[in-house]
């Protein structure tokens, strides 16, 4: 099984990255590729629609997104790990998702794992994935984690063990070997 992780945070060791690490700890016998979007050169979609007319359906822009396209096509599970900034996924993650327009025909039968850390709300990003994934035949799993306490103070995700366990358990569930015995 192949997994790619798209890290939307500019912080490599931030809360959403830690949540992704716990998901990966639960996975079994998987090849994993990591993409730290903030460190990649990815231009925004230009709305040219050339991806709809060329044979490979790849974007006309040649940048680091090509690496993600290749890995995405091979992957069984795509992990979107992002904090919320101003009520939505980070700009880095949104740019990549916009550029995925070029390969939506390859979404069917993929598993998307969306890991969101947030302070106040996360409904807009959750609603986006819940609206889009059924249309493309994607198996969707979402874990959200509020990293702010009742006194409006930030808390590290490591102080929220139930969410870390939830991520690890999801990793185990999605990658456990399936019984292929024929009777």
Phi, psi of 16 (to 5 degrees): -70, -35
Task: Please check whether residue 183 lies inside any domain of the structure.
Answer: no
Task: Please check whether residue 92 lies inside any domain of the structure.
Answer: yes
| Cα three-residue angle 60-64-65, rounded to 5 degrees | 55
* C-alpha distances out from residue 31 to 2, 52, 166, Å: 5, 30, 21
Higher-pLDDT residue of 56, 173: 173
Which two structure tokens, joined as six digits, stand for 115? 């890991």
177 pLDDT band, cuts 50/70/90, is confident
Task: Please check whether residue 182 lies inside any domain of the structure.
Answer: no
Q: Which of 164, 171, 98, 105 minimizes the C-alpha distance to 138?
A: 105
Q: Which domain holds residue 82?
A: 2-175
Q: What is the pLDDT of residue 56?
A: 65
15 pLDDT band, cuts 50/70/90, is very high
Task: Please check whether residue 181 lies inside any domain of the structure.
Answer: no
Residue 38 has pLDDT above 90, yes or no: yes
Name, in order, each residue with C-beta under 8 angstroms of 89's C-beta and a sequence gap of 6 or more.
8, 80, 82, 97, 116, 125, 128
Q: Which of 170, 175, 177 minimizes the C-alpha distance to 19?
A: 170
178 pLDDT band, cuts 50/70/90, is confident
Q: What's the structural domain count of the chain?
A: 1
Least confident of 8-17, 37-46, 135-144, 173-182: 173-182
Least confident of 28-42, 57-71, 87-101, 114-128: 57-71
CATH number at 155 reads 3.40.50.360
Task: Please check whether residue 137 lies inside any domain of the structure.
Answer: yes
Q: Which helix (H) or strand (E) holds 89?
A: strand 88-89
Q: How many other C-beta atoms lie within 10 A of the C-beta of residue 143?
A: 20
């Amino acid at each position: 099984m192949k997994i790619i992780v798209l890290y939307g945070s500019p912080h490599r060791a931030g809360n959403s990255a830690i949540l992704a690490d716990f998901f990966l700890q639960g996975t079994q016998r998987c090849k994993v590729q990591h993409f730290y979007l903030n460190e990649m050169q990815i231009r925004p979609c230009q709305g040219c629609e050339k991806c709809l007319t060329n044979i490979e359906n790849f974007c006309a822009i040649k940048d680091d997104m090509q690496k993600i396209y290749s890995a995405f096509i091979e992957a069984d599970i795509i992990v979107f790990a992002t904090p919320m900034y101003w009520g939505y996924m980070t700009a880095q993650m949104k740019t990549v998702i916009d550029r995925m327009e070029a390969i939506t025909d390859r979404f069917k039968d993929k598993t998307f794992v969306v890991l969101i850390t947030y302070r106040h709300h996360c409904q807009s990003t959750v609603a986006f994935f819940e609206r889009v994934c059924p249309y493309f035949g994607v198996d969707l799993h979402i874990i959200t984690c509020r990293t702010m306490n009742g006194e409006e103070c930030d808390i590290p995700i490591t102080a929220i063990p139930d969410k870390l366990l939830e991520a690890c358990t999801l990793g185990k569930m999605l990658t456990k070997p399936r019984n292929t015995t024929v009777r």
